[in-house]
Structure formats: structure tokens, C-alpha cells
Amino acid sequence: MQNIIKSIKEKKGTLLDVRSPMEFEENHIPGAINIPLDIIESNIKQISAMQKPIVVYCLSGGRSSMATGILQQNGIQDIYNGGGIFSLNNIINNN
């Protein structure tokens, strides 16, 4: 995960926030793209074109786990469940 965080910090990857637009507006990791879990499947083409690695996060890790699984089942490689926003933000800022 260390190399993935390094890629994200160097702007060589994508942070994908799968929370609702309202949650995203309230608080998100700078540079993240918001595609809520309920519309992930209809955005597979857009997500597959995103810069890899893709780190998916939500509030606690539940929705990001589901989204990661959906994306992997649709053939998207180099995608990782980043878990919850606060723990992921701490990892990014402290490494």
C-alpha cells in the first residue's frame, strides 16, 4: 500500500470517493473524484480510463469495498480499497 499512497501523493493515480454528493461536498480528500456507489456500474467506462492506481474510499470502508469488487468484476485492474476517508487521509498526510 505504501507504493500506492506514494503514487497518489505524486498525482500519479486517482482517488475515487464513492460517498453521496452531499457527503463529498461536506468533506473530501483534495483531488478526489466523486462517483457515488449507486452509479458506479453506469460509470465503468469513465472509471476504466482514470489514471491508475485507483484508490477507492468512503466513510468507513463498506461502500468502497463494494465498489472495488464491482470494478474488479468489470475488469478494472490496479484498483484498491482505501477504506474510510479519515484513516486514508491520515495515511496520505503522514507518509
pLDDT in tens, 9-67: 787 899 999 999 999 999 999 999 999 999 999 999 999 999 999 999 999 999 999 99
82: CATH: 3.40.250.10
Q: Which domain holds residue 77?
A: 2-93
* Predicted local distance difference test score (pLDDT) of residue 9: 78
Q: Domains in the chain: how many in total?
A: 1
Which are the catalytic amino acids? 58
Q: How many CA atoms lie within 13 A of 63 on its CB side?
A: 19
pLDDT-derived band at 1, boundaries 50, 70, 90: low
pLDDT in tens, 72-84: 999 999 999 999 9
14 neighbors 31 (Cβ within 8 angstroms): no
* Predicted local distance difference test score (pLDDT) of residue 75: 96
Q: How far is CA 5 from the centre of its chain?
A: 12
